[in-house]
Amino acid sequence: MYILDSHSKWPEAFNIPSMSEENTIPIFEGLFVRFRYPSHLVTDNYSTFIVIAFQKLLKAGVLRHSTTPPQFPATNGAAEDFVDRFKRKINSILKDHITLKAAIIKFLFDSRSKLHAATNQSPASLMLGPELKTQFLLFRPPSVKNRIINDQERQICNNLGETKINFSEGDSVVARDYRGKEPSWTPGIFTREIVPGLTFLIKVDGLIWKRHANKLLRRSPVVKDKETG
């Protein structure tokens, strides 16, 4: 069974033994739950689509249902084009000696992630929001959101870089303490560096804390260290 969203061009394909009510209705119920009810559903004239149980499902979603004229399915052109392309692609993929299930998964993933000629966007971006993660996606320019996040992180690192922090194992430090209602500073012992110049492990009251560079200060050696007694 083949299903296509006319707006996003998002395809669905299901390998079922027959188009019976028992096989077909649960598939539509699952799609409506995941993607919401469409405003208009166009199907062929197969008997399953006009039985009472299927009509009750459509009525629950208050959606319009149309059927194609008998013996003339081409009136639902987008779906028919999809079916033709699906059959050609699946036959080609099966030549690689993989299972039908694996071939369908490969076809759907490719179809959902590639730009569609009609919309100039991928079905995944229109249906889900973000693109599906593919190898080719790694070569695209980063999104505006990702560029902003990267720029912010770079600025933070640059600002921190103005203050060089060089600790050695066993150095006395004070670390920002968030255990109370108000943040305070608690003495501890430097253990090791995790991310060079940025994050460190500190031993405090028998516990190991992880702290950012701007949450640590070197402690004067004249102050008695609780960790060393």
- DSSP assignment of 44-71: ---GGGGSHHHHHHHHHTT-EEEEPPTT
Name beta bridge partners: 187.
174
pLDDT value, residue 43: 87
pLDDT value, residue 46: 86
Picking from 114, 96, 83, the residue whose alpha carbon sits closest to that of residue 12 is 83
SS3 content of the chain, % helix, strand, coil (to 5): 40, 20, 40
How confident is the model over 171-183, as a mean pLDDT?
A: 87
pLDDT value, residue 225: 47
Of 185 and 148, the structure prediction assigns the larger pLDDT to 185
Q: Any idea which residue has 């992880």 for tokens?
A: 210
Separation CA 47–CA 124 (nearest Å): 31
What pLDDT band is residue 68 in, cutting at 50, 70 and 90? confident
- pTM for this predicted structure: 0.56
Instruction: Examine the pLDDT at 85 and tell me if it is beyond 50.
Output: yes
Instruction: Examine the pLDDT at 73 and tell me if it is beyond 80.
Output: no
